[in-house]
Structure 1
Amino acid sequence: MKNDEFLACLSECVGERHVLTRSDDMAPFLTDWRGRYTGSAHAVVRPADTAQVSAVVRLCHERGVGVVPQGGNTGLCGGATPRPGENVIVLSLNRLNGIRRIDPVDNTLVAEAGCTLAQIQQAAAGVDRLFPMSLASEGSCQIGGNIATNAGGVHVVRYGNMRQQVLGLEVVLPDGTVWNGLRTLLKDNTGYDLKQLFIGAEGTLGVITAAALRLASRPRQRVVAWFAVTDPVAALSLLAAARERLGERVSAFELIGRNALDVVLKHIPGARAPLEGGADWSVLLEVADVAQETPLDTVLESVAAAAFEAGWVVDAVIAASLAQCEALWALRENISEAQRIEGVSIKHDVSLPVSAIPAFLAAAEKTLTDAFPWVRIVAFGHMGDGNLHYNISAADAASNAALVAQTEVVNRCVHDLVASYDGSISAEHGIGQLKREEIVRYKSGVELDLMRAIKHALDPRDVMNPGKVLPEA
């Protein structure tokens, strides 16, 4: 293949100014958000609509060139970053950023893949509805990438993962064919639910270009509280008590270890500790209701009082204003950014049965501190749905470098424990490049064979996001 001729064909598809080939122009698209992965590509191609995506993918299919779909480039596993030396292009979906339609009667919204999550939230709010997905990166992450990784976020405990928010998809298949499955039906029992193949597939089966999304009623009340709890067992008891009193009105329940809070207070300007003293474990709890008859703050105060009496909680604060709500949430949402500033850490995005979280935390800490006495554990996450972000580092640079060199050993300690509790080594970040070989140890041969069979059936030439998700046979 002559590269100049191929680039000229790409320019015919999308326009010359939207085929980026200069190293400075391409650089932001070739390195992931964490700076862990950097790859290479013939070009970064920026189509404007589904027809242009189809033309580009068809051309790449004919020429045997790989396609790496990329949204907001906020992923944590290298799934949207090309690998070095590969015969690929990066397909940026930034320009596919239109809201095609919104229907408050049906509670549905159809958006193109390049819309940011915040843009979709704002569109829903404009018709007095809620799009319930909420992530720290919502101002820059894009809905196509959220779907491709089956993103979770802080409100999964009430509304479910991205999979639960998707009613239909429009997808460009690996040969350039467009599948229009943008139905907004709540019931469609006409065979295989094809959209499910592409949700969580990380662009390895096709390019998501648009999605039909489910909206929810907009809450009229919202209360946020921060609790200092005695330990994770007490946090579990608080969760059970909150659900007992508030049911589905519990919309977020975040467990935050002391090291996670400390790194935010150290690196994020304006961050302030929510309570005096330094509890080893805290809980950030949000409750919301579409009705206004029963004041939620009164109910939450009664839950807090019972928790104090039971000895689960040693201190608490309930936000008295929107600004205080946002300040409490900022402490949680800035943990990843603070860790990025701090330096390299060994990150784990794991899922466990909710009831197993305290036992896992105790066992993992013992296993790791026995092996690495200087280890610092930054643990936090969505306890309400069993998802923990369990990150490992050391306080000084030399010790941290030595620890990072033992990443494989650390991963084995953590992931083997997760597997012993019937958990998952990837809860919401996906597999990407980071865990591609790791899943061989934790998925059965039957599962891997089924995944490879689906990949081969849809993408026999391995055009779509090569080198991601599926390990080598």
Structure 2
Amino acid sequence: MTSKGSRAAIEAPVEDLVQGLVAALGADLVLSGGEVERYCRDWHGDVTTGAVAVLRPRSTEEVSACVRAAAALGLSVVPQGGNTGLVLGATPDAPSAQVVLSLERMTRVRRIDADDFSAVVEAGAILAEFKDRVEDAGMFFPLALGAQGSCRIGGNVSTNAGGINVLRYGMTRELVLGLEVVLPDGSVFDGLSTLRKDNRGIDLKQLFIGAEGTLGVVTAVSVKLMPQPEQVATALIGLKALDDAITLYRRARRDCCDLLSAFEFMPPLAFTLAREAMPDLAMPMDGGYPAYVLMEISGSGLIDIEELMQRFLEGVLADELVVDGVIATSRDQSRKLWLFREGMNEGQARRGPHLRTDVSVPLSRLADFVRDAEAAVLAALPDCICVSYGHVGDGNVHLNVLPPGDLGRADIDARIYRAKTVVNEVVDAYRGSISAEHGIGRLKKADFDKRLPDVQRRLLTAIKAAVDPTLVMNPGCQLNFPSLSGKSA
């Protein structure tokens, strides 16, 4: 990965740049030397880079000062939350010309208003901890991710994070009411409204959601809250084929309506992978079925959620739509069912470097896509293993490819690249997206750029030029902008 910063930053010794940052901001806000490394490594440890320094502000005013100080020294800024992203969006790629701006100190929950069904929280708050605070107030924030114990709210907004509850509550974009953002010139956009209806022209906050820090640093967020689901029913279901998952989902949407909060599909290999990572996991049902669905319905008030789940499963079993199923009888059992879905990711990681995809296709064609894409990969790479799973309700497939573990790294990398090319070609044939929920970052930039229509490129370039003409914010992420101020990102 390479990204050019300004000539001044490239020519100045790192020690002088660090001294300049300390002089402007104070030593407490600046980390340098060996302390920088952990901020310059991606979530899976596949990529380690470097940076001039790591800036750690405690307030919006200090974020503004950090951005101004970096720009004055000719340095660009890579915003970072929990560093749990999967596309290198928060990983610096120009060690002598970039600083990491970590939001990890900005963790305050500024307000929770149960009557307004809203909260205002700073960008560095860890998602799980914020959800706990909201629950203590009798409310519910529905964003749910595998990394929620480490990821931070600002990163969720900047990547427009998805997760398991998208089919009911939408992506992060649908949960955001307002933003506070430090712009590339250090000024502050204060849009922390909690209004549900505000039709005063273009909705500026939407520019920054999913922008991965390329237009500014999100410092605080106002979000929607929901009533706390007092009842949750979770079921693991065995199917005769993945095609039946689509039929089952359509039936679940009809019978369970908007109470359906999660609907995940997994292959039989998921259980093997999960138990490789968590040997104490007990198989929840007998038999090995061609496909599995993990579904959840939830609600509060006068509806009997457990009875609804029981009646639904009785109906689909009687119609022979499913082969087998088990309903969790407690929150603990529900958690154990979800551990198979979460543990399979760790199991894949234990098998070594592999391709991790995050694609989406029309829901009605999900099963066909999985079948065609896996066949294409295995035709090109017969010694690899495909692991396909994801979110049925929004057409999001994680089709991962595991090379043999006994290969050298060069051979593994070659297989990963070939598999990515094959999968993306099938995605294109299905008119899908190469990024459903992870973003573009640096990892998918070339593939994104290759597929970007001219009109969309012109609009994105115009927005970048208007907001960040000197490429202060996260150059190297998402798109190349070589025409702006003589720089190349």
Normalised-by-shorter TM-score class: over 0.9
Change (3 A) 1:430 1:221: same
Matched, 1:60 2:70: yes
Which residues in structure 2 correspond to 1:300-449 (within 5 Å)?
300-398=309-407, 402-449=411-458
Alignment of 1:47-446 (within 5 A): 47-292=57-302, 294-398=303-407, 402-446=411-455
Q: Give the superposition deviation at 1:472.
A: 5.6
8 Å CA contact 2:108–2:121 kept in 1: the answer is: yes
Is this contact kept in 1: 2:87–2:441, CA < 8 A? Answer: yes
Counterpart CA distance in 2 for 1:397 and 1:169 is: 48
Deviation at 1:117, TM superposition (A): 0.4
Is the contact made by 2:274 and 2:339 (CA closer than 8 Å) also made in structure 1? Answer: no
141-150 vs 233-242, which deviates more?
Answer: 233-242
C-alpha distance after superposition, 1:95-150 (max 9, x if no partner): 00000111111111000000010121112112111000011111110000000000
Query: Per-residue deviation at 1:60?
Result: 1.5
1:295 deviates by 2.2
Give the C-alpha shift of residue 338 in structure 1: 2.3
CA deviation map 1:392-426 (0-9, x unaligned): 01344228863531333322221121122221100
Q: 3-state DSSP class of the match of 2:288?
A: coil
Which whole-Å CA distance do the structure 2 matches of 1:82 and 1:5 have between them?
19
Name 2:485's counterpart in structure 1: none
Question: In 2 relative to 1, CA 400–64 (structure 1 residues): closer, same or farther, beyond 3 Å?
Answer: closer
Q: Distance in 2 between matches of 1:7 and 1:371?
A: 49
**Whole-Å separation in 2 of the counterparts to 1:201 and 1:328:** 34
Displacement of 1:86 after TM fit? 4.3
Task: Tell me which moved more, 92-101 or 444-453.
Answer: 444-453
Measured against aligned partners, the alpha-carbon deviations of 1:12-33 in whole angstroms (never above 9, x if no partner) come to 554313311121x111101011
- CA 1:399 to 1:271, structure 2 compared with 1: closer, same or farther past 3 Å? farther
Q: Given the alignment, which residue of 459, 468, 478 partners 1:469?
A: 478
CA deviation map 1:191-238 (0-9, x unaligned): 211100000000011000000011011112100000011111111111
Secondary structure of the structure 1 residue equivalent to 2:478? coil
Q: Is the 8 A contact 1:228 1:314 kept in 2?
A: yes
* C-alpha deviation, 1:303, in angstroms: 1.9
2:403/2:416 contact within 8 Å kept:
no
Which consecutive aligned stretches of 4+ in structure 1 deviate over 6 angstroms post-superposition? none
- Whether 2:28 is the aligned partner of 1:17: answer yes
More displaced 10-residue stretch of structure 1: 73-82 or 2-11:
2-11
The two structures, once aligned, show a CA RMSD in angstroms of: 1.7
- Contact 2:183-2:215 at 8 Å conserved across structures: yes
The verdict on how the C-alpha distance between 1:280 and 1:13 changes in structure 2, with shifts beyond 3 A counting, is: farther
Deviations 1:291-338 (A, max 9, x none): 23x422222222222222333321110001111011011111222222
Q: Bigger CA drift: 167-176 or 57-66? A: 57-66
Three-state SS of the structure 2 residue aligned to 1:196 is: helix
CA distance in 1, matches of 2:24, 2:122: 19
Q: CA deviation at 1:4?
A: 4.2
**Displacement of 1:160:** 0.3
Change in CA separation of 1:240 and 1:358 when aligned onto 2, cut-off 3 Å: same
Q: Is the 8 A contact 1:136 1:334 kept in 2?
A: no
Compute the TM-score of the two structures, normalised by the length of structure 1.
0.96
Q: Secondary structure at the match of 2:306?
A: helix
SS at 1:397 equivalent: coil
Q: Secondary structure at the match of 2:437?
A: coil
CA deviations over 1:444-468 (Å, ceiling 9, x no partner): 1211221111111111111111101
Partner Cα separation in structure 1 for residue 223 and residue 71 of structure 2: 29
TM-score (norm 2): 0.93
Q: What is the aligned residue count?
A: 471
Alignment partner, residue 3 of structure 2: none
How far apart, CA to CA, are the structure 2 residues paired with 1:327 and 1:385? 24
Secondary structure of the residue aligned to 1:405 is helix
Q: Which amino acid aligns with 1:18?
A: L
Do 1:99 and 1:115's aligned partners in 2 also have CA atoms closer than 8 Å?
A: yes
1:459 aligned to 2:464?
Answer: no
C-alpha contact (below 8 Å) 1:115/1:143 kept by paired residues: yes
- Is contact 1:30-1:39 (8 Å) kept? yes
Separation in 1, partners of 2:279, 2:81: 28
| Change beyond 3 A, Cα 1:238–1:420 | same
State the alpha-carbon separation in 1 of the partners of residues 155 and 336 from structure 2: 27
Distance across 2 between alignment mates of 1:127 and 1:336: 32
State the Cα distance separating 1:434 from its structure 2 match. Answer: 0.7
Please, which runs of 5 or more residues in structure 1 have no aligned partner?
none
Task: Provide the C-alpha distance between the structure 2 equivalents of 1:63 and 1:84, rounded to a whole number of angstroms.
Answer: 15
Q: Is the partner of 2:323 in helix, strand or coil? A: strand
Deviates more, 1:78-87 or 1:108-117: 78-87
* Contact 1:419–1:442 (CA under 8 A) maintained in structure 2: no
Between the aligned partners of 2:479 and 2:151, the Cα distance in structure 1 is: 24
Are 2:274 and 2:342, in contact at CA under 8 Å, matched by a contact in 1? no
Deviation digits for residues 232-274 of structure 1 (CA, Å, limit 9, x no counterpart):
1111111111111110000000011122332111122422222
C-alpha contact (below 8 Å) 1:14/1:46 kept by paired residues: no
User: Greater CA deviation, 185-194 or 244-253?
Assistant: 185-194
